[in-house]
Amino acid sequence: MRILLVEDDAALADGIARALRAESFAVDVADNGEDGGHLGSTERYDAAVLDLGLPRRDGVSVLREWRAEGRNLPVLILTARDGWSAKVEGFKAGADDYLVKPFRVEELVMRLRALVRRAAGHASAQIVCGPILFDAQIGTFERDGLPLKLTAFEWRVLSTLMLRKEVVVERGDLIERVYEGDADVDSNSIEVIIGRLRRKIGPEMIETVRGRGYRLTADAAA
| pLDDT tens-digit map of 84-109 | 888 899 999 999 999 998 899 999 99
116-151 pLDDT per residue, tens: 999 999 999 999 999 999 999 999 999 999 999 999
The band of 220, judged by pLDDT with boundaries at 50, 70 and 90, is low
Q: Is the peptide bond before 102 cis (omega within 30 degrees of 0)?
A: yes
Mean pLDDT, rounded, of the chain: 92
Q: Is the pLDDT of residue 75 over 60?
A: yes
- Torsion, Cα of 21, 159, 197, 200 (10° steps): 100
Question: Taking 90 as the threshold, does the pLDDT of residue 60 lie above it?
Answer: yes
Max Cα–Cα distance, the chain, nearest Å? 54
- Give all domains of the chain, ordered by start, each with its CATH number: 2-119 (3.40.50.2300), 126-216 (1.10.10.10)
Q: Which helix (H) or strand (E) holds 86?
A: helix 84-93
Length of the chain, in residues: 222
Provide φ and ψ at 125, rounded to 5°.
-75, -25
pLDDT at 83: 80
pLDDT at 200: 95
Rg of the Cα atoms in the chain: 18
